[in-house]
Amino acid sequence: MNARIFIDGQSGTTGLGIAARLAAIPAIELARLPEEKRKDPAAKAALLRDVDLVILCLPDAAAKESAALVAALGQAGPRVLDASSAHRVAPGWVYGFPELAKGQAEKVKSAPRVSNPGCYATGAIALLRPLIDAGLLPTDHPLAINAVSGYSGGGKTMIADYQSGVAPDFELYALDLEHKHVPEIVAHARLARRPIFVPSVGNFSQGMLVSIPLFLDDLPGRPKAADLEAAIAAHYAQAEFVRVMPADQDRLEPQSLNGSDGLELHVYGNETRRQALLVAKFDNLGKGASGAAVQNLGLMLGLDVAP
């Protein structure tokens, strides 16, 4: 029997990406609301009773409203996968990064409510959590996280500005240091000290690099960069979508994984200077958004969704 899925907010970038991926899976049937009933709570409730899972691709406030509508349906309601940032640190929601820690994929499989990670948070947590779990990085260590993304993750206005040539080639943003991905980085990387997070956007559609510099002599036991790489590699040894790459390049660009759902992690080191740089590379619309959502959906419904 096919699984019936409703994408609430399918017209956005993430929703369109999810729909395109699900259209290629024979075991998935996409349910839709007529455009004129899109904001009709009664029509939406009726549809929600008739699907197995709803994916929320909405602004945070609207995602909370839809989640509340599902909750009001009780046992008649579907399971929920929220691609907004509304529930990423909310009690009762499982964080949808299956590679986070041992047993996380099993939690996603059985959860009634799963929150899909933010794109920047995916890269930062993927690098930090293995080192914290291995005791190589203290939870209260002062951290600076830098990242650059393609403009496709910035919403309709940003996309239009770049495509029309109005936007600059490169810019830093969220300079109040209050980016909405920071709380989930703190919570799911298990940080006790809030990092400084500096996001930026470039004049390219898709792709992302997240980088974290470290002074090796400031870490417990004064590890080598190779020790950090070994811990990260051990953490993801069985991961399907995450790979630790050799540090054999002196340059990294953000777009080579576009169109894929993979996540590549790099550890660069200079033993003379006792410095290291952690880097995550992925498609911000792949493992950073739609691809991650489909991976979680596959776990929740027991379906093979591998591309």
Residues with catalytic roles? 119
Residue type, 211: S
DSSP 8-state assignment for residue 35: G
Buried b (16+ CB within 10 A) or exposed e, 219-237: beeebebebbbbbbbebbe
- For residues 145 and 196, the answer to whether their CB atoms sit within 8 Å is yes
Which of 234, 231, 288, 241 shows the shortest CA–CA distance to 262?
241
Q: What are phi and psi for residue 6, nearest 5 degrees?
A: -115, 125
Q: 283 vs 39, 67, 125, 157, CA distance in Å?
A: 31, 27, 16, 20
Beta bridge partners of 29: 4
CA–CA distance from 280 to each of 77, 98, 128, 202 (Å)? Answer: 37, 17, 11, 17
Task: List the structure tokens of 260.
Answer: 């894929």
DSSP, collapsed to helix, strand or coil, labels residue 200 as: strand
Beta bridge partners of 266: 245, 279
